[in-house]
Amino acid sequence: MDKFYIEGQLNKTLKKLKDIEFALNESSIVAITDSRGIINHVNDKFCTISKYSREELIGKDHRIINSGYHSPEFFRELWSTIKNGEIWKGEIKNKANDGTYYWVDTTIVPFLDDKSRPYQYVSIRNDITDRKNIEQDIKQMAYYDPLTNLPNRYLLNRRLKEVLLNKNDKHQTAILFLDLDRFKSINDTLGHTIGDSLLKEVGQRLKSCLRETDFISRQGGDEFIIFLDFINCKQEVIKVANRILDKLSPPFFIGNEKILISASIGISLHLIEDKQKINKETVNDSIETLIKQADIAMYYAKEIGGNNYQFNTPVLNEKIVRNLNLEKQLKQALEKDEFSIVYQPLVNLTNGGILRVEALIRWENSQFGMISPMEFIPILEETGLIVPVGRWILKGACNQMKKWRDDGIQLSRIAVNVSPIQFKHHQFIKDIKQILKDTQLEPELLELEITESVIWDIKESMKILKELKSLDVKISIDDFGTGYSSLSYLKHLPIDNLKIDKSFINDLDKDGEVIVKTIIDMGRNLKFNVIAEGIETEKQLSFLKNQGCHIGQGYFFSKPISPQEISELLLN
Ligand code: C2E
Ligand code: MG
Ligand code: MG
């Protein structure tokens, strides 16, 4: 082969290479490093995107543009690939000289010597910052709560899935379900803008008391879920819960408002004892259960007054699940006609004659059977259902009383229990008037039993009591002695009767005489009728009679009974 031919071929190849280089430089960011990663060539595009001059880059390694975004493992894997002589491809986030970030789609090609060892690396990169930003925005929208910028429930779910599926026996975790106390009233009184700002700041405070490995998300509304990973013991979780409660206790200043808020926290633990295997099929159920358990404990924390934390326990689970089921059933109970009313006689203690009756609600449900009012009345109160149910009882009792009177049965009064929620409801007086009108019952035959807790707001309750008085309806204080009524205002209240709580009558068998005697004396001095409830024995009866208490009720005379039974008793 002649020299010219070879030279010609060489020139052709060189021209081809030059063309490729030109095309590459036009399209891509190119850098060449030696086997240790020291940069010995960069093209213009590299300088433009990294905002470093060629002089600043040559002789350095790629750490100069490291953003800190990727983990050390990421780079270890990269290096082990190219050192093995293989091509590495991936997406890398880099940091430019001015502190801004950019993403590059990267291919690193190792060049091998005759012993197959890399002697240099050529990296070819393309700017994908725009695409990554869009991806990031989409991710942000899908996985983050726009108000607080905290992860949302989907991201929490993803995180929990990841952890639970890869968890070993020694790995312990906890879920804290946090709900702000009385947030709704802040929202209602100060407005949603303030409510939103408050949630934002709460999110920040919560975040500030967590560790790097902990995870916080906003579930929606004023609910947050905190996931504690790698915990060593229950004590550690208690510490976090206390830290959170402490962190929330200083006031928040938002606009011109100073807002005090607290939270209720429910905790479910996933500890070593729980050896239950979680797999791909069961993981969603497990997550739901863990969150539900924390939620249940949170409800209990609220129930005992808020601003505290509670751990989930099996007993608690059972109680709350029962309450939730009862609540579900109660919502349909009126419609399904499951309530009824029984009546307990109030008698003249001197001669045993029946004077009045007290109406008491009963609930019999197909699933749960007979349930005590002590159990379901609080649920009715919590859910507000006590208002329609209370109206139903009042109406039923007044109807019954009217019927008895029309039948010539001698009863001087019917007493109906009224819950504080019902009493304070703005419709209450209107309801009473309407019911009296509909049933045609003379108002003085109706007596309302309220508890001491009703009168905590003396001004407001005085107004309602006076209106009732003006209708000529009678009023009793029920369960007297168990609340905190102060005698000083009791005497100003337009009240007719005091009903001594049955626990005091019960204590007569021990050493309760002084208290009962005191209540009777006081009632008499204030010109109230004193009624004793829960009389069960002859002995209790004679003590009460001797003290001058003239009206009472209790199993000694009769249990609460049906209206027919009352009629029969009175007709005989
Ligand atoms: P309360 O108003 O103090 O009613 C008296 C309760 O004591 C009734 O229980 C009655 O059955 C019971 N009792 C009567 N005599 C005796 C006795 O000698 N010994 C004992 N151990 N107990 C006796 P009940 O019917 O289970 O009602 C419990 C509570 O539930 C009532 O206490 C009242 O606070 C509430 N409640 C019952 N019915 C209604 C209602 O229609 N509306 C509202 N708001 N509350 C009601
Ligand atoms: Mg009562
Ligand atoms: Mg009572």
Task: Give the domain CATH number at 66.
Answer: 3.30.450.20
Residue type, 137: D
Q: How far is the CA of 137 from the centre of ligand 3 (A)?
A: 62
Q: How far is the CA of 554 from the centre of ligand 2 (A)?
A: 12
Residue closest by Cα to atom 25 of ligand 1: 360
* Residue with token string 């013991």: 233
> Distance between CA atoms of 444 and 496, rounded to whole angstroms?
11
How close are the terminal C-alpha atoms of the chain, in Å? 140
Do residues 183 and 305 share a domain?
Answer: yes
Q: How far is the CA of 553 from the centre of ligand 3 (A)?
A: 10
Structural domain contains residue 400: yes
Ligand nearest to the CA of 390: 1
Q: How far is the CA of 449 from the centre of ligand 2 (A)?
A: 6
> Domain holding 455: CATH number?
3.20.20.450
What is the domain range of residue 121?
3-134
Q: How far is the CA of 477 from the centre of ligand 3 (A)?
A: 9
Do residues 69 and 148 share a domain?
Answer: no
Residue closest by Cα to atom 46 of ligand 1: 417
Do residues 198 and 68 share a domain?
Answer: no
Pocket of ligand 1 (CB under 6 A): 344, 360-361, 372-374, 377, 390, 393, 417-419, 449, 478-479, 502, 533-536, 553-555, 560
The tens place of each residue's pLDDT in the chain, 572 residues long, gives 678 888 888 888 888 888 988 998 889 999 999 999 999 999 999 999 999 999 999 999 999 999 999 999 999 999 999 999 999 999 999 999 999 999 999 999 999 999 999 999 999 999 999 999 998 888 888 899 999 999 999 999 999 999 888 877 677 899 999 999 989 888 888 889 999 999 999 999 999 999 888 999 999 899 999 999 888 889 999 999 999 999 999 999 998 889 999 999 999 988 655 556 778 888 888 888 889 899 989 988 998 889 999 999 888 778 877 888 999 999 999 999 999 999 999 999 999 999 999 999 999 999 999 999 999 999 999 889 999 999 999 999 999 999 999 999 999 999 999 999 999 899 999 999 999 999 999 999 999 999 887 776 778 889 999 999 999 999 999 998 887 666 667 778 899 999 999 999 999 888 889 999 999 998 888 889 999 999 999 999 999 999 999 999 999 999 999 999 999 999 87
Comparing CA positions, the residue from 482, 484, 494, 504 lying closest to residue 552 is 504
Structural domain contains residue 109: yes
pTM exceeding the 0.85 threshold for the entire prediction: no
Choosing from 69, 101, 134, the residue where a domain stops is 134
Paired strand residues for 324:
none
CA distance readout (Å), 111 to 17, 92, 120, 184: 16, 21, 5, 66
Tokens of 392: 């139903």
Residue closest by Cα to atom 17 of ligand 1: 534
Count CA atoms within 13 Å of residue 278 on its CB side: 21
Q: How far is the CA of 360 from the centre of ligand 1 (A)?
A: 6
Residue closest by Cα to atom 6 of ligand 1: 534
Structural domain contains residue 318: no
For residues 549 and 541, the answer to whether their CB atoms sit within 8 Å is no
Comparing CA positions, the residue from 237, 284, 234, 235 lying closest to residue 265 is 237
Phi, psi of 99 (to 5 degrees): 90, -5
Do residues 461 and 565 share a domain?
Answer: yes
> Distance between CA atoms of 380 and 119, rounded to whole angstroms?
80
Structural domain contains residue 512: yes
Residue closest by Cα to atom 43 of ligand 1: 417
> Domain holding 262: CATH number?
3.30.70.270
Residue closest by Cα to atom 11 of ligand 1: 560
Residue closest by Cα to atom 2 of ligand 1: 417
Choosing from 258, 279, 312, the residue where a domain stops is 312
Confidence (pLDDT) at 1: 62
Q: How far is the CA of 253 from the centre of ligand 2 (A)?
A: 46
Enumerate the H helices of 99-229 as residue ranges. 129-143, 153-166, 183-190, 192-208
Phi, psi of 381 (to 5 degrees): -70, -45
Do residues 157 and 300 share a domain?
Answer: yes
Residue closest by Cα to atom 12 of ligand 1: 534
Provide the number of structural domains found in the chain: 3
CA distance readout (Å), 56 to 49, 53, 64, 195, 248: 14, 5, 9, 51, 49
SS3 for 314? Answer: helix
Structural domain contains residue 317: no
For residues 219 and 153, the answer to whether their CB atoms sit within 8 Å is yes
Q: Which of 340, 357, 417, 480 to mutate to test the pocket of ligand 1 (most atoms within 8 A of CB)?
A: 417
Structural domain contains residue 267: yes
Q: How far is the CA of 535 from the centre of ligand 2 (A)?
A: 14
Ligand nearest to the CA of 361: 1
* Burial of 51 from C-beta contacts in 10 A (0-12 / 13-18 / 19+): middle
Q: Which of 360, 431, 479 to mutate to test the pocket of ligand 1 (most atoms within 8 A of CB)?
A: 360
Enumerate the H helices of 440-476 as residue ranges. 458-471
Do residues 455 and 383 share a domain?
Answer: yes
SS3 for 167? Answer: coil
Do residues 368 and 464 share a domain?
Answer: yes
Do residues 286 and 393 share a domain?
Answer: no
Q: Can you tell me which atom of ligand 1 is nearest the CA of 451?
A: 34
Structural domain contains residue 269: yes
Ligand nearest to the CA of 392: 1
Confidence (pLDDT) at 10: 86
Do residues 263 and 333 share a domain?
Answer: no
Q: Can you tell me which atom of ligand 1 is nearest the CA of 418?
A: 44
Do residues 363 and 272 share a domain?
Answer: no
Q: Which long-range contacts (CB under 8 A, 24 or more apart) does 24-31 make?
A: 24/124, 27/126, 28/124, 28/125, 28/126, 29/104, 29/124, 29/125, 29/126, 29/127, 30/122, 30/123, 30/124, 30/125, 31/57, 31/62, 31/122, 31/123, 31/125
Q: How far is the CA of 347 from the centre of ligand 3 (A)?
A: 15
Ligand nearest to the CA of 418: 1
Q: How far is the CA of 562 from the centre of ligand 1 (A)?
A: 15
Structural domain contains residue 220: yes
Q: How far is the CA of 476 from the centre of ligand 3 (A)?
A: 10
Comparing CA positions, the residue from 443, 436, 494, 496 lying closest to residue 464 is 494
Do residues 98 and 37 share a domain?
Answer: yes
Choosing from 312, 333, 348, the residue where a domain stops is 312
Ligand nearest to the CA of 448: 2
Residues with CB under 5 A from ligand 2 (ion): 417, 449, 478
Residue closest by Cα to atom 37 of ligand 1: 360
Q: Can you tell me which atom of ligand 1 is nearest the CA of 479?
A: 3
Do residues 329 and 282 share a domain?
Answer: no
Confidence (pLDDT) at 321: 79
Q: How far is the CA of 375 from the centre of ligand 1 (A)?
A: 11
Q: Can you tell me which atom of ligand 1 is nearest the CA of 501?
A: 3
Confidence (pLDDT) at 442: 97
